[in-house]
Structure 1
Amino acid sequence: MSTAVTTPATPNEDAATGNTSGYRLDLDGLRGIAIALVAIFHVWFGRVSGGVDVFLTLSGYFFVASLLKHVLATQPASTSWSAAVNPWPRFWRLVRRLLPALLVVLVFITAMIALVMPKTRWGPLGSEVQASALYYQNWHLAFDSQDYQAADSANSPMQHLWSMSMQGQFFVLTLVCALTLGGVLRALSRRIPALTNPAVVRGVVGTALLAVAVVSFAWANYRHGVNQPFNYYDTVARLWEPLAGGLLAVWMPRVALPAWVRNSLGVVALALIVTCGWWIAGVTEYPGAMALVPVGATLILIWTGSAATRPLSSSNVDAPSVSSALAHPRLVWLGSIAYALYLWHWPLLIFYLSWRYQDDVNWLEGTAILVVSVVLAWATTRFIEAPIRAGESTVLGPRYRRSLLALILITTVVAGSTVVIWQRNAANATVNTENLDPRLYPGARAFLNGAPVPKVDPQPSPEVVDKDWPITSYDSVISGWKDPSIKVGVYGDKNSTRTVALVGGSHAEYWITALDDIGKRRGFKVTTYLKVGCALTTSHVFIWFGQKYYQCNDWSKRVMDRLAVDKPDVVFTNSTRPEEGPGARGDYVPQDYTDIFGQFRDRGQRVVAVRDNPWAHGKLKPPECLAEGRKPQVCGVSRDLALAPTDPAAAIAPQFPNMNFLDYSDAMCGPTYCPAVVGNILVWHDYHHLSATFVRSLIPAVEADLAKTLHWW
């Protein structure tokens, strides 16, 4: 987003004063309004304002206009395009303007991660520091939005840098394409002299930009209905926004309009920009068709404030009043620090929320964060951006500039080394809890059997428990989000003729830890039919990450058909889910579950269904809470919030004589609270999946229940 504030200005006149210096103060003011909207909406409303889309449009307008000005205004018509556009000086200028401030903020973020964030997040956030520094943060977030084990990226202090990464990619891609197109035009101009004509070059460039913009816009709208979380960060889907600004720079419509028309258009456009954050859900709509609102409004303000809409006889007094208002010195000043303000405001907000264990801020807290952000942005612009951008001519002197560059380089190297250590530690972290001494680590037996709990450090440690997944995940026999295949894993006693089929989503999956062990010792085979986020369903469509999960319905139907053919002796699945929506409490049996149970009953298949475990919703996941040094008794969830007073499946049990219902809530919760640690074992590896180690501590209870249910031993 923020690169727009440092891109060279357009060759048009200053709209507010009518001068021809080549600078538009009104667009600086528009940047000021855009960054104010972004920061205010982030701090107080938790919404997307449309300010990012304003910046994207301005970025494309400034950048393409700068290229055209350089080629068409400063070079003779006979000069080839490729000779006029040398990417390296321009690329170095971008690096000099953008990278120092970014690196300073990333060094600050790295230090604050170590001070504020739990150690469980150091590795993942270290990857984001690297992604942000190398300008691929948008792709990092896009792919994480599809990763079930890493879907909770909303509170990253670097999430906002996706737009900067996207724009950096846009600038580099534009330079490369310009150089390629220039080579083609240079080769063809020997045979077609007209290709040296500026008007022809403008037409070729505009046509190329238009073609890419149309493809990008079509892709954004197609992917909106396919995978919006990914689409939001996708560079291909976002390209049309800066290209729209670039097209206006190439083909500025010259239509003389009366002052009242220009003012009316400007007022409407500015009103759309200011208000669209309230009536457009940007996260779920952008960069699809609804992004035309902030993008189109920005184009209107650029156009109506330019000379292209004024009669030739117009004077300075005839300048649009909206443009004059946008050129107000305070707005222009705010626009001058927009880049640094964008860099600072989001991490300050996230670190404050993490430090205070809050989900939002009040008016006073938000104001303080914005004030500190503005002060830091001004200081960054004044003492870091401006001196380095000015080169040796800096008013602070060349010695200051050299010292500043050295300091930035040294601190960046130190921060980078720290990040590498975090990533290496996270990559090398392992969980080895298969042979824990049950006398020291009773786990579920502490609640079920009153087993004594010695004072030892819990296992797995909070820093590595996120790797404590069931064996099926590591064996890749659970189908992913977009994988329609039915993957059948085989565990337990693989040569046995008796079979227990484990069926459902990840909340069925973790029971493989117990079933595999019991099957090996008691002589039955365990087959798995698993898909991420997909409990067996009929008509209900799950919504994950803002997308309807139709694949689950299709997969469930095919799995039910497959089970009718495979005919396992017993199906093992879930019986309840947590209530959903505002104010939801406890768990229940969904109608789809009873429909599925009815199908099993009608075909005469035996079923063992286990109640879902409590979900520990909260600001921090239980492992992160523990890593902060807090007590297990406050890092879990209140029992009455997560679970109904009694097992909801008990009410439907008489309808299904073919089924046995199991409930291990008392193994995870006391009378009023479900703590993060039970019997010296961490219960969850995130906030709703049981750790494999804890399920292992449940094996004696599961084995006893299966013995009474199956009568196989």
Structure 2
Amino acid sequence: MTAPARSEERTQTDVDPASAYRTDLDGLRGIAIALVACFHIWFGRVSGGVDVFLTLSGYFFVGSLLKHVIVSQSPSVSLATAVNPLRRLTRLARRLLPALVTVLLVVTVLTVVVLPQTRWVATGREVIASALYYQNWFLAFNSQDYTAASSANSPLQHLWSMSVQGQFFVVTILTALAFAGLLKLVSSVLPAVRRPAVIRAIVGLAILTVAAVSFYWAHMRMPINQQFNYYDTIARTWEPLAGGLLAVWMPRVRVPVWIRNTVAVAALGLIVTCGWWIVGVESYPGPLALVPVLATLAIIWSGATATQRGDRVAMPVVNRGLASRFPVWLGSISYALYLWHWPLLIFYLAWRQKNSASFVEGVVLIAVSIGLAWSTKRWVEDPLRAPRSASTSGTGTDHRPADGAGTAASLRDPVLGGRARHRRARRAVSYAGALTSLLVVGVLVAGVGITAWERHVDGITVDTRNLDPTIYPGARAFLEGAPVPHVDPVPKALEVLKDLPETSYDGFISNFTDPELRVGVYGDPTATRTIALAGGSHAEYWISALDLLGKQYHFKVTTYLKMGCPLSTDPAPEENGVPYPQCAEWVRGTMRRIIADRPDAVFTNSTRPRDGIVGEWVPPDYLGIFDQFNRAGIPVLGVRDSVWPHNGKGAIDSPTCLANGGSARSCGTSRSTAYGAVNPTEAVVAQFPNLHPIDLSRGWCDETFCPAIIGNVTVYHDWHHLSATFVRSLAPELQRQLQAVFPWA
């Protein structure tokens, strides 16, 4: 997204193509942002427009820094000047931060006004991540899904690319300046290294090497963790470096116009259409990202010869079209338009409680985004930029001198014109100062507010162990027909986020990267009878009932738990589509440990949704686990999995749905889409005499529906885990089913 530095002293006929001002590339940036917005709003796909931005950024940014390195070797340039990063970093900040800060402040306000409180902390953390340019890493480590916009998406999810660019800019600046300083030192001994051709060769080979490593990394990481890979700066670096390589080694061969026309037409066609035939979120930044990247390079190359010669007639028709007024104007606001379009879409969908926008809604959203982008450029970006400064940030701004050509009065009267210019300058400085102060104050207020809210949420505690069962019957409302008084449900939407199993607070569940088996002891630690609770998080939440029953009926509960890791013989397990080899290793070690410990029974899951959230089955990989316990003579209590809330639009985050004004029914799930008529565990009992089905589904579903609130108790603490409060209300029914198998339970 970087625009070139414009030379005031040299004509277009004697400049390097990488330094010449290219209005056609402003237009290409405009087309790219239009594709990004349209694909986000209407198609829920990745367009490839971001890859175009990254490539253009590298082309102009590396070209600008290369020019600095070459010029810095002049004896008239001191070493301190050659390596001083302050000017470039300051200019970069002036280009990038004003619009970004403005959008972040508006997002902060709209978050409080539009989004439910359950989403404030996550959005606040992303505001900070975006402001400090590590949003891509925040999303990578949190495995955000960027396939399509819905009201549940983050309003700042799109800023991952700004973070990648910002990191690339800073690292490239520091590297280039360090290289410039090293050359000045070495050139005193080896004068030949200061020659432009030598510098270009060194820089080109370095860029080629780093880009090749980055490309290999991107390709290699795709089957390992593509969700992380998509946001990874290391995996993305080859894209801007591909543009940078063209800035260093632009082909000089004269090619007939008809060939360049053909190449440009094909390249633009690939850029416009690749979003339909490439599933970018699954393929980028791997080899298929070469399509938009190479197409961008082809368009840069197709117009470079004509730009160098100053011959507009020789410019391919595609480049002339891109250099026309509207694409160039759209390119001039592309940075602000990119910043605005996504949060507007997300806040609108959240406000309307929808997952997609209609055609008319999309048109209105784009029109509003364009209006805000132009206003941001006109009233925020331009006043805070130094006059006549060249763009180095990729914002696609207007490069005309800031003071204009002067008024008619100033041309007639130099004195009057000078005074008028002076007054305008003073007004501009005053406006810029006031705007800067406003932005600084806004950032401070937003930062304090986000921090205060996070501390408030972190300080929330939930203790519902002594609820009055006559007021909050929970599952007993379904299981026993207990009356339900008219009171507000507990825990509240914001509180239920903290209503976790005891093992989560006590540290007795291994996280995704933790290879250790952390065994906890609950119930009656002195008891001679033991139930081992084993598996992933859908086994974990049963500790809230088992601990209660163990204390009451004097049996011990030992826990063997790992996040996202049910007991399974799957040799290549995955978590949300990402390979999870640590799980297979953990299961093997845990099975050896449980069999060695020889508990009286193992309590674990026996079913799971068939397609992520709907249907149910006994996964074939569970059968090997049942067989191992059967051969070891250890009974298995196979609990039927709870419902994963969903409706026709997809998965439901129950706390957020309720906080957003939803009801027990509107945030609930139809039983027929979650369960069959019979617990599928029953079908495999004949194979494994030691397997005893535990089915508590009548506690959270009636004959036709599974509500989000039952008996004045909130059922789920997130997308698909039962709240500890609700699990405790299931304890009497769980005890009844346990006693049917083991009289001592």
TM-score by length of 2: 0.88
Corresponding residue for residue 500 of structure 1: 531
Corresponding residue for residue 601 of structure 1: 630
Return the match for 2:727 from 695, 703, 706. Answer: 695
TM superposition shift of 1:256: 1.6
Q: Which amino acid aligns with 1:473?
A: S
Return the match for 2:448 from 403, 417, 434. Answer: 417
Answer yes or no: is 1:266 the counterpart of 2:264.
Answer: yes
Name which of structure 1's ranges 24-33 and 215-224 shifts more when overlaid on structure 2.
215-224
Q: Which amino acid aligns with 2:523?
A: G
Corresponding residue for residue 619 of structure 2: 590
Contact 2:616/2:676, CA 8 A, preserved across alignment: yes
TM superposition shift of 1:176: 1.6
In structure 2, how many angstroms separate the alpha carbons of the residues matched to 1:635 and 1:240? 44
Answer yes or no: is 1:370 the counterpart of 2:402.
Answer: no
Pairing 1:157-172 to 2, within 5 Å after superposition: 157-172=155-170
In structure 1, how many angstroms separate the alpha carbons of the residues matched to 2:522 and 2:12? 73
Return the match for 1:291 from 261, 284, 289. Answer: 289
Corresponding residue for residue 569 of structure 1: 600
Indicate how the Cα distance of structure 1 residues 654 and 546 shifts in structure 2: closer, same or farther if over 3 A, else same.
Answer: closer
Answer yes or no: is 1:451 the counterpart of 2:511.
Answer: no
Q: Which amino acid aligns with 1:701?
A: E
Contact 2:2/2:60, CA 8 A, preserved across alignment: no
In structure 1, how many angstroms separate the alpha carbons of the residues matched to 2:7 and 2:168? 18
TM superposition shift of 1:704: 2.3
Pairing 1:206-285 to 2, within 5 Å after superposition: 206-285=204-283
Structure 1 residues 531-561: Cα deviation after superposition (integer angstroms, max 9, x where no partner): 2222222348554333243443444344334
The 3-state SS of whatever aligns with 1:305 is: helix
Pairing 1:28-43 to 2, within 5 Å after superposition: 28-43=26-41
Contact 2:22/2:307, CA 8 A, preserved across alignment: no
The 3-state SS of whatever aligns with 2:474 is: coil
Name which of structure 1's ranges 111-120 and 212-221 shifts more when overlaid on structure 2.
212-221
TM superposition shift of 1:145: 1.4
Structure 1 residues 336-359: Cα deviation after superposition (integer angstroms, max 9, x where no partner): 110011001000111111111111
The 3-state SS of whatever aligns with 1:587 is: coil
TM superposition shift of 1:496: 3.2
Pairing 1:442-591 to 2, within 5 Å after superposition: 442-539=473-570, 542-580=573-611, 585-591=614-620
Corresponding residue for residue 683 of structure 1: 715
TM superposition shift of 1:390: 4.2
Pairing 1:420-435 to 2, within 5 Å after superposition: 420-435=451-466
Contact 2:496/2:723, CA 8 A, preserved across alignment: yes
Contact 2:306/2:314, CA 8 A, preserved across alignment: no
TM superposition shift of 1:308: 8.4
Corresponding residue for residue 698 of structure 2: 666
Corresponding residue for residue 325 of structure 2: 329
In structure 1, how many angstroms separate the alpha carbons of the residues matched to 2:11 and 2:128? 40
The 3-state SS of whatever aligns with 1:455 is: coil
Structure 1 residues 18-43: Cα deviation after superposition (integer angstroms, max 9, x where no partner): 99993101111110111111111101
TM superposition shift of 1:417: 2.5
Q: Which amino acid aligns with 1:577?
A: R
Return the match for 2:661 from 606, 626, 629. Answer: 629
Contact 1:255/1:308, CA 8 A, preserved across alignment: no
* Count, aligned residues: 701
In structure 2, how many angstroms separate the alpha carbons of the residues matched to 1:170 and 1:5? 12
In structure 1, how many angstroms separate the alpha carbons of the residues matched to 2:21 and 2:530? 76
Answer yes or no: is 1:612 the counterpart of 2:641.
Answer: yes
In structure 2, how many angstroms separate the alpha carbons of the residues matched to 1:38 and 1:375? 17
Return the match for 1:178 from 164, 176, 201. Answer: 176
Corresponding residue for residue 419 of structure 2: none
In structure 1, how many angstroms separate the alpha carbons of the residues matched to 2:349 and 2:501? 33
Contact 1:80/1:182, CA 8 A, preserved across alignment: no
Q: Which runs of 5+ in 2 are unaligned?
A: 389-401, 404-423
In structure 1, how many angstroms separate the alpha carbons of the residues matched to 2:516 and 2:207? 40
Contact 2:6/2:19, CA 8 A, preserved across alignment: no
Corresponding residue for residue 472 of structure 2: 441
Q: Which amino acid aligns with 1:634?
A: S
Answer yes or no: is 1:644 the counterpart of 2:642.
Answer: no
TM superposition shift of 1:234: 1.4
In structure 2, how many angstroms separate the alpha carbons of the residues matched to 1:271 and 1:142? 31
Corresponding residue for residue 95 of structure 1: 93
Corresponding residue for residue 201 of structure 1: 199
Answer yes or no: is 1:340 the counterpart of 2:331.
Answer: no
TM superposition shift of 1:126: 0.6
TM superposition shift of 1:73: 5.4
The 3-state SS of whatever aligns with 1:632 is: coil
Name which of structure 1's ranges 123-132 and 527-536 shifts more when overlaid on structure 2.
527-536
Answer yes or no: is 1:351 the counterpart of 2:361.
Answer: no
Contact 2:307/2:315, CA 8 A, preserved across alignment: no
Answer yes or no: is 1:52 the counterpart of 2:50.
Answer: yes
In structure 1, how many angstroms separate the alpha carbons of the residues matched to 2:22 and 2:384? 23
Name which of structure 1's ranges 156-165 and 503-512 shifts more when overlaid on structure 2.
503-512
Structure 1 residues 629-661: Cα deviation after superposition (integer angstroms, max 9, x where no partner): 332222221222222233232333344332221
Indicate how the Cα distance of structure 1 residues 13 and 279 shifts in structure 2: closer, same or farther if over 3 A, else same.
Answer: farther
In structure 2, how many angstroms separate the alpha carbons of the residues matched to 1:112 and 1:58? 32
The 3-state SS of whatever aligns with 2:522 is: strand
TM superposition shift of 1:10: 9.2
Indicate how the Cα distance of structure 1 residues 610 and 83 shifts in structure 2: closer, same or farther if over 3 A, else same.
Answer: same
TM superposition shift of 1:685: 0.4
Contact 2:471/2:484, CA 8 A, preserved across alignment: yes
TM superposition shift of 1:134: 1.3
Q: CA RMSD in A?
A: 2.8
In structure 1, how many angstroms separate the alpha carbons of the residues matched to 2:209 and 2:75? 25
In structure 2, how many angstroms separate the alpha carbons of the residues matched to 1:385 and 1:587? 54
Structure 1 residues 446-486: Cα deviation after superposition (integer angstroms, max 9, x where no partner): 22122222333322221121222212223333233344444
Structure 1 residues 561-590: Cα deviation after superposition (integer angstroms, max 9, x where no partner): 443333221111112112317xx8432222
In structure 1, how many angstroms separate the alpha carbons of the residues matched to 2:476 and 2:645? 21
TM superposition shift of 1:669: 1.9
In structure 2, how many angstroms separate the alpha carbons of the residues matched to 1:656 and 1:489? 28
Q: Which amino acid aligns with 2:234?
A: V
Q: Which amino acid aligns with 1:597?
A: F
Indicate how the Cα distance of structure 1 residues 546 and 586 shifts in structure 2: closer, same or farther if over 3 A, else same.
Answer: closer
Name which of structure 1's ranges 68-77 and 96-105 shifts more when overlaid on structure 2.
68-77
TM superposition shift of 1:682: 1.0
Q: Which amino acid aligns with 1:478?
A: I
Q: Which amino acid aligns with 1:601?
A: N
TM superposition shift of 1:122: 0.6
Indicate how the Cα distance of structure 1 residues 57 and 183 shifts in structure 2: closer, same or farther if over 3 A, else same.
Answer: same
In structure 2, how many angstroms separate the alpha carbons of the residues matched to 1:467 and 1:9? 55
Q: Which amino acid aligns with 1:498?
A: R
Q: Which amino acid aligns with 1:624?
A: T
TM-score by length of 1: 0.92
In structure 1, how many angstroms separate the alpha carbons of the residues matched to 2:177 and 2:88? 12
In structure 1, how many angstroms separate the alpha carbons of the residues matched to 2:436 and 2:585? 57
Q: Which amino acid aligns with 1:672?
A: T
In structure 1, how many angstroms separate the alpha carbons of the residues matched to 2:305 and 2:330? 25
Structure 1 residues 307-336: Cα deviation after superposition (integer angstroms, max 9, x where no partner): 2898x7x94322222211221211111111
In structure 2, how many angstroms separate the alpha carbons of the residues matched to 1:620 and 1:422? 24
